[in-house]
Amino acid sequence: MASTTTSAARVAALPRATRLEEPPGHGRGGIRTMYPSWFYLPAGALYVVFFAVPTFASFYFALTRWTLFDVEFIGLDNFVQFFQEPQLVQGFVNTFFYGFVTSALKVVLGLALGLLLTSQIIARGYLRSVVFFPVLVSTIGIGITFKVLLDPFGGLVNESLAALGITGPGWLTDPAWALFSVALIDVWKGVGIATLIYIAGLVAIPQEYYEAARVDGATSWQLFRRITLPLVRPATATVVVLSLIGGLRSFELIWATTRGGPGFTSDVIASVIYKQYQAGFYGLSTAGNVVLFVVVTAIMIPVSILLNRKEVDR
């Protein structure tokens, strides 16, 4: 604010000729117009037309039977159907499972890799690049590749396991394993971001803390438990929030590997939305969207409040 007043004063002190060339409304206290509100307009227009309007419209269309030409108001029938048909309920439950498994694994593995890659080992640069690269690769390409690698008959993974004397499961074809396998692929692809965030958090911890604790005779476990873990909390919060946002609305990887199958065992809300859309049930599909919206906000708001509050308390 101080700088605003000084520059306003300076502008006011300018020779009259200069001031005449300035845009109208500029001058005394007019620094605000140098940062005009209409700069929000282009982005705001995009946001309103392509994001806000569809989001609000979805609350209405979710209550209708909707085909391309015809909208009929049917109240809450879509939601009733959503929570009665077992296959749709399965997608609802799977969404939670997928979101929690992927973010938990990304936190654990990301932290472990972060610790490894900030310690004194050889080939750190190579390891960082290699762990991060899958993040940038097309999800569809990775999905197809792993579908082949995880094939129960002659897939590379099960062949290798067989060579070690282990019979691998039908990763993507066994109903008991399918969703978990997709989650594992997701972690394989996404752990690079978690690792990066943890590396940034870990290098920010002052080394003096460790030295002081070591002088006091702390063990490695105590160093980790009492210094590292509390101090990387902001990084953990970021990883949890990011992977939950991604995991709860995940669609591409599931669609590229199992299409929600076998049966409906690996369906999530996002794939149910697509299936209902394909089948022409636009109202039901939109109801799925509203359910996803509620699930995501209902999880994200408490999670981010919880993670942020603890941080302030300390």
CB within 8 Å of 168: residues ≥ 6 apart: 152, 157, 158, 161, 162
Cβ 157 to another protein, closest distance in Å?
10
* Identity at 284, one-letter amino acid code: L
Q: Nearest-5° angle of CA 33, CA 35, CA 39?
A: 110
* Identity at 68, one-letter amino acid code: L
Is residue 193 a contact point for another protein (CB under 8 A)?
A: yes
Interaction with another protein in 116-175: which residues (CB under 8 A)?
116, 119-124, 126-127, 129-142, 144-146, 148-149, 151, 154-156, 159
CB within 8 Å of 156: residues ≥ 6 apart: 148, 149
Q: Which of 197, 232, 240, 268 forms a contact with another protein (CB under 8 A)?
A: 197
Residue closer to another protein (CB basis): 209 or 277: 277
Instruction: Output the CA–CA distances (angstroms, integers) from residue 83 to 88, 138, 254, 259, 291, in the order listed.
Output: 7, 33, 21, 21, 10
Instruction: Output the CA–CA distances (angstroms, integers) from residue 16 to 8, 11, 45, 93, 220, in the order listed.
Output: 14, 10, 38, 70, 71
Is residue 31 a contact point for another protein (CB under 8 A)?
A: yes
Is residue 205 a contact point for another protein (CB under 8 A)?
A: no
Is residue 49 a contact point for another protein (CB under 8 A)?
A: yes
Is residue 73 a contact point for another protein (CB under 8 A)?
A: no
> What is the token pair recorded at 174?
């066994």
Site string for another protein, 278-307 (x = CB under 8 A): ----x--xx--xx-xx--xx--x-------
Q: Which of 12, 34, 162, 229 forms a contact with another protein (CB under 8 A)?
A: 34
Interaction with another protein in 241-260: which residues (CB under 8 A)?
241-242, 245, 248-249, 251-252, 255-256
